[in-house]
Amino acid sequence: MSRKVRLGTVSMILNNKLSGMEYYNNMVESAEQILTEAANEKPDLMVLPEYFAHAQLNYEMKRKMAERIPDSDAPLQAKMSELARKLNSNLVYGAVEVDGDKYYNVAVVLDRKGGYVGKYRKVHLYPGERAFFTPGDEFPVMDLDIGKLGVALCMDIHYPEMWTIMALNGADIVAHPAGWMDYTGNLCESLVNARAVDNQYYVITSHFVQVPYLSGKHPGHSRIVDPYGRTRADTSHLPGYAIATVDLDQLYEYWAKGDLKLEMPTLKECFLGMRRPELYGQICEKDEEKKWKLKNPIIYEKE
């Protein structure tokens, strides 16, 4: 079989000189400009960064601009729905959700007509986010017209368990909106490649970028990564978009022969089919002892 689709990702300039509504409006306008340009490439799915219009807002402004989700009349949702329709593409974007007295870092998924498909609430919060956001507790896999989509946000990249759960639930693609600052130059790249290979699906990661890029800044480098761990399209260290045509049925073919090849035609059957979950119970237990914790970590910056 063949399921060829066009997957796209976006890098957006993060301007530290802007704040408040000036920043918010600038980012919404930038998203519209980039997605409008991308429409000529006829993508089937586009991904924007983690809470792209809220990243530079302080907590007071985040509260003010948070939206109930779904709410088709809410300003950001209405605008993103309009852009999905114009683009004729499924769309994933990061936002801030309010639900009662709780706030969530979320990724919202829209279909080609701008209709609400679902949301993912970030499970693994960055330490600095915990004072404001409530963590999510689900790993949804959503049905799109091109296949099954899982979603992770930024810090989630460090927790392979949830990525495997999405694979077990049938994800063909995982969207990874992020607000990553890469201090080594290749840390996020290595992690994304590993998640794609281990779970034998496509990963779309979307980042902010600061130009000119230096290590320790937002790197851009938004990518589409295939199950071989190879980059199929990349924005480099620049703002803009990247799109790749991929075949969701083309995974990493296993090199076995005969009956074993029939049992395991690709590494998806091998990696997921040969798991030993009966041995992994410790991962799900409360870790009271913290045996992994260093007694005397070397720290240079004390304050």
> CB under 8 Å to 249, separation ≥6 — which residues?
1, 2, 3
Q: Which of 241, 251, 245 is nearest to 5 (CA)?
A: 245
Residue type, 66: A
pLDDT (0 to 100) of residue 217: 83
Is 246 strand, coil or helix? strand
pLDDT (0 to 100) of residue 180: 84
The number of residues making up the chain comes to 303
- Whether domain 4-251 has CATH 3.40.50.12170: the reply is no
Residue 185 has pLDDT above 70, yes or no: no
The model's pLDDT over 134-158, given as tens digits with 9 standing for 90+, comes to 999 999 999 999 999 999 999 999 9
Rounded-to-integer distance, Cα 104 and Cα 106, Å: 6
The model's pLDDT over 24-49, given as tens digits with 9 standing for 90+, comes to 999 999 999 999 999 999 999 999 99
Answer with the residue of higher pLDDT: 16 or 171: 171
Residue 122 has pLDDT above 80, yes or no: yes
Confidence band (pLDDT; 50, 70, 90) for 175?
very high
pLDDT (0 to 100) of residue 213: 79
Q: Where are the alpha helices (DSSP H) in the chain?
A: 20-38, 59-65, 75-87, 160-168, 187-199, 258-263, 267-273
Rounded-to-integer distance, Cα 59 and Cα 77, Å: 20
Domain boundaries, the chain: 4-251, 253-286
Q: Do residues 96 and 66 lie in contact, with contact meaning Cβ atoms separated by under 8 Å? A: yes
Question: Given 50, 97, 129, 189, which residue is catalytic?
Answer: 50
Question: Given 62, 119, 122, 217, which residue is catalytic?
Answer: 122
% of the chain with per-residue pLDDT over 90: 85
Neighbouring C-beta atoms of residue 170, cutoff 10 Å: 12
In the residue annotation, 270 being an active-site residue is answered as no
Phi, psi (degrees; rounded to nearest 5) at 63 = -60, -45
Task: Tokens for 108, please give them.
Answer: 């919202």
In the residue annotation, 122 being an active-site residue is answered as yes
The model's pLDDT over 75-102, given as tens digits with 9 standing for 90+, comes to 999 999 999 999 999 999 999 999 999 9
For residues 220-246, give the mean pLDDT. Answer: 96
Rounded-to-integer distance, Cα 248 and Cα 302, Å: 48
Rounded-to-integer distance, Cα 5 and Cα 147, Å: 9
Task: Tokens for 4, please give them.
Answer: 């060829």
Q: Tell me, what DSSP letter sits at residue 135? A: P
For residues 181-203, give the mean pLDDT. Answer: 90
Most confident region among 52-56, 250-254, 299-303 by mean pLDDT:
52-56
Question: Given 62, 67, 97, 154, which residue is catalytic?
Answer: 154
Residue 184 has pLDDT above 90, yes or no: no
Q: Which of 111, 246, 231, 120 is nearest to 173 (CA)?
A: 246
**265 backbone φψ class: left, alpha, beta (φ>0; ψ -120 to 50):** alpha
